[in-house]
Amino acid sequence: MVTPFSEDGSVDYAVAERLADHLVNNGSDGLVVCGTTGESPTLSWQEEYQLYKTVREAVAGRAKVVAGTGSNSTSEAIDATRHACDLGLDGSLQVVPYYNKPSQQGLYQHFSQIAAAVPDLPIMLYNIPGRTGCALAVETTARLAKISNIVAIKEASGSLDQASQVRYHTPAEFGIYSGDDSLTLPVLAVGGCGVVSVASHLVGPQIQAMVQAYEAGKTRLATEIHLRLLPLFKVLFIDTNPVPVKVALAQQGWPVGKVRSPLCMADESVGAAISDVLQKLSSSGDLAKRV
């Protein structure tokens, strides 16, 4: 979920509440708050905690709320995750520590210490080497999957082979979620169970229909939906996420504001490309009406 900002750059909690409700009413089974798309690197912990509370109250009983409480400091991640647990959230997304590039043993110790600190809170690992500069090896994921409250991974390596290997080396109940909208259907085919989505801000019901079609054995229908949505999946990453999705939401009437520095809003060519895709999806009936 994106983090809406007011014109003065402060978090707009009222819009966050509306958006959370909208997403749950339009296909999302759960919401990740303060992840990559939520611009967590430029949010203070106080802002994040308030967002957790706001979203939890907005969707109470209707969807899971997962807090992005990862950090490249193990002690900081533990403190934030304990806070999320105390707030009654449903889970935590734990990104691979960035910049300091720990070894695989260091990664194992990092995640296992966080899990031990909140034994009753489900944890989703988050492997995104393109942003962190450090990849979570399949073998390390398999070791971590043996810890009772490490229950899933958001696999955003872009590698289907990686996802396949994780599936092979982990128990069937360990959830594998695509971290890329365009790879959701292929990840389902190698044993995944869903997606932590950006495009769901705009086409949540269609993504939900695609996943359900695949699970029901209607693979041709799932492929048709995937191909209809593929231009949107791609255009939402023509600039750094979440810049394009904020542009798209603004074009749909959502007052989500700009991105925080050092990110900056896209030029007119990006906006035009997004608008073209949205218009085509609207014409085909695959895009919700403007708010």
Q: Mind telling me the catalytic residues?
A: 126, 154
- What are residue 92's DSSP bridge partners? 67, 123
109, 100 Cβ separation under 8 angstroms: no
Phi-psi region of 289 (alpha: psi -120 to 50; beta: other; left: phi over 0): beta
Contacts of 281 (CB under 8 A, 6+ apart): 202, 203, 228, 229, 231, 232, 287
Cα–Cα distance measured from residue 291 to residue 52, given in angstroms and rounded to the nearest whole number = 24
The residue type of 176 is I
Q: What is the dihedral of CA 280, 251, 63, 50, to 10 degrees?
A: 160
> Which letter, b or e, does each residue of 51-88 get, where b requires 16 or more Cβ atoms within 10 Å of its Cβ?
bbbbbbebbeeebbbbbbbbbbebeebbebbbbbbeee
DSSP 8-state assignment for residue 40: G
93, 66 Cβ separation under 8 angstroms: yes
The residue type of 49 is Y
136 is written with which tokens? 């979570």
